[in-house]
Amino acid sequence: MDDALRADESAVRRILTGTGDTWAVVGLSNNTARAAYGVAGVLQRFGKRVVPVHPKAETVHGEHGYASLADIPFPVDVVDVFVNSGLAGAVADEAVAVGAKAVWFQLGVVDEAAYARTRAAGVEMVMDRCPAIEIPLL
């Protein structure tokens, strides 16, 4: 992957501090062993509203879950993607379609074509990074 795509520190800062506080976390369930569960907790501790998006539509960390981004009845600012790289591009496209301001692909989630499409649509994007690692550093 192009290091410039991964290391855009200004995009990381903008998304974490200025894009908004409603984060849809795709792949978030009540499975406490999964990274998404822990990352969502960190985001909440830093003042973010975490909206679980998972086929089971579970309530997680006190927030009602939805089966898809399209099912969320209010605007989301950032879509945090915890699905594998092969599925992540479709999630990024859905995030653009629902009007998200930014897309964040977690560590190990890489899709350069999705990055290009998302940025071409005017939506901020970070790829292969973790907000739970980045936000305490601000």
Q: For the segment 75-86, what is each residue's pLDDT rounded down to a tens digit?
A: 999 999 999 999
Non-local CB neighbours of 112 within 8 Å, separated by 6+ positions: 1, 2, 5, 127
Band of residue 9 on the pLDDT scale cut at 50, 70, 90: confident
Distance between CA atoms of residues 37 and 89, nearest Å: 22
1/34: higher pLDDT: 34
> Of 127, 83, 120, 88, nearest to 104 (Cα)?
127
Structure token digits, residue 9: 């520190």
Band of residue 4 on the pLDDT scale cut at 50, 70, 90: low
Q: Are 131 and 43 in contact (CB under 8 A)?
A: yes
What residue spans of 19-104 are helical by DSSP H?
Answer: 35-45, 85-97
Band of residue 138 on the pLDDT scale cut at 50, 70, 90: confident
Band of residue 8 on the pLDDT scale cut at 50, 70, 90: confident
Output the pLDDT for position 85. Answer: 94
Output the pLDDT for position 6. Answer: 52
Confidence (pTM): 0.94
Distance between CA atoms of residues 129 and 134, nearest Å: 8
Q: Are 48 and 22 in contact (CB under 8 A)?
A: yes
